[in-house]
């Protein structure tokens, strides 16, 4: 059985100025247990809204129809009480900007332990020990000291590692990573992707990566779904897509990525 199944998913937004705007138009996708899948496309393609619908995180002016099933359970349209049994525990999400995702008024430790006390009902000492161990696993040096730091005291790469640690605390079956390296320099990007690869092998969890960067997707994922204007226009394994892209939009993305790499200063 597929871990995640999207069937004919539509997401639209009501705007006073533009009326009904359809961001996702009839997308059907599957992610298998332990699989790595990239959803790729330019800004505005609908890829983030697609996975926000999975998490039940769409804004009030959004309407989603179709089917979103996780391990055989229908999630779309369910009340928050049911969704909260899955969010953070079996399905976790890493957002693209950790500075806006982390609470600037709380220490890293307070935010990590809240996840464990909420979802696993751990007492504070046990939650602290598990949170520090997770910070060490995502390769944050001097984790016990960083546990008491505030988000603004950490670098961008370290904040992103904290977000990864937070997402992994409850050992989810599915990790959704929404542009997890966008605000990071190339060296830190490589470190984050290597970290996700290592954790995925250790835990055998599924990863869905949302990105506009095809080479980045190729470095982490086994399969790619290319989105344009709210639709999946091409889907296949990484090697096939890179070697023989069929859709003109996929060809354009690959060409643009290769041109950007060729123009980038070489180290």
∠ CA 66-180-260, nearest 5°, is: 105
Residues 204-231, mean pLDDT to the nearest whole number: 91
Say what the pTM is: 0.88
Give the pLDDT mean for 103-109.
94
Give me the mean pLDDT over the 184-211 stretch: 83
Reply yes or no on whether the pLDDT at 90 is more than 50.
Answer: yes
pLDDT in tens, 114-146: 999 988 899 999 999 999 999 998 889 999 999
Q: Specify the pLDDT at position 241.
A: 93
Residue 183 pLDDT: 65
Q: Other C-beta atoms within 10 Å of 12: how many?
A: 19
pLDDT over 60 at 246, yes or no: yes
- Check residue 173 and give its pLDDT: 93
Residue 197, pLDDT > 80, answer yes
Lowest-confidence pick of 36-40, 186-190, 214-218: 186-190
Higher per-residue pLDDT: 42 or 101: 42
4-15 and 62-70 beta bridge pairing = antiparallel
The values of phi and psi at residue 253, to 5°, are: -60, -45
**56 within 8 A of 83, measured Cβ to Cβ:** yes
Strands (E), 95-230: 174-178, 206-211, 223-228
Question: Is residue 40 exposed (0-12), middle (13-18) or buried (19+ Cβ within 10 Å)?
Answer: buried
Structure tokens, 203: 């835990």
Segment of 51-60, 117-126, 154-163, 227-236 carrying the highest mean pLDDT: 227-236
E strands, the chain, in order: 4-15, 19-31, 36-40, 62-70, 73-74, 91-94, 174-178, 206-211, 223-228, 231-237
C-alpha distance from residue 221 to each of 69, 210, 215, 249, 266 (Å): 22, 11, 10, 20, 25
Backbone angle region of 52, left / alpha / beta, with phi > 0 → left and psi within -120 to 50 → alpha: alpha
Residue 222: DSSP 8-state: S
> In the sheet where 231-237 sits, what is the strand order?
91-94, 174-178, 206-211, 36-40, 223-228, 231-237
Count CB-CB contacts under 10 A for residue 258.
Answer: 12
* pLDDT over 60 (residue 193): yes
Q: In order of start, what are the domains of the chain with their CATH numbers?
A: 4-262 (3.40.50.300)
Q: What end-to-end distance do the CA atoms of the chain give, in Å?
A: 45
């Amino acid at each position: 059985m597929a871990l995640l199944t999207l069937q004919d998913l539509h997401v639209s937004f009501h705007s006073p100025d533009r009326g009904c705007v359809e961001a996702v138009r009839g997308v059907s996708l599957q992610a298998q247990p332990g699989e790595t899948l990239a959803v790729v496309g330019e800004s505005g393609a609908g890829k983030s809204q697609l996975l926000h619908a999975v998490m039940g995180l769409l804004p009030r002016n959004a309407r989603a129809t179709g089917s979103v099933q996780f391990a055989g359970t229908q999630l779309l349209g369910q009340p928050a009480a049911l969704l909260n049994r899955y969010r953070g525990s079996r399905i976790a999400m890493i957002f693209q900007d950790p500075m806006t995702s982390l609470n600037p008024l709380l220490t890293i430790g307070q935010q990590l332990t809240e996840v464990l006390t909420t979802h696993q009902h751990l007492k504070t000492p046990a939650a602290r020990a598990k949170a520090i161990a997770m910070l060490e696993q995502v390769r944050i040096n001097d984790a016990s000291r960083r546990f008491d730091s505030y988000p603004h005291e950490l670098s961008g790469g370290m904040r992103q590692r904290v977000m990864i640690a937070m997402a992994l605390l409850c050992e989810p079956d599915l990790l959704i990573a929404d542009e997890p390296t966008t605000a990071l320099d190339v060296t830190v990007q490589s470190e984050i992707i290597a970290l996700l690869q290592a954790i995925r092998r250790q835990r055998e969890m599924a990863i869905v990566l949302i990105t506009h960067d095809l080479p980045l997707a190729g470095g982490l994922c086994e399969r790619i779904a290319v989105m344009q204007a709210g639709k999946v226009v091409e889907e296949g394994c990484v090697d096939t897509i890179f070697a023989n892209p069929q859709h003109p939009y996929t060809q354009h993305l690959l060409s643009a990525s290769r041109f950007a790499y060729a123009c980038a200063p070489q180290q």
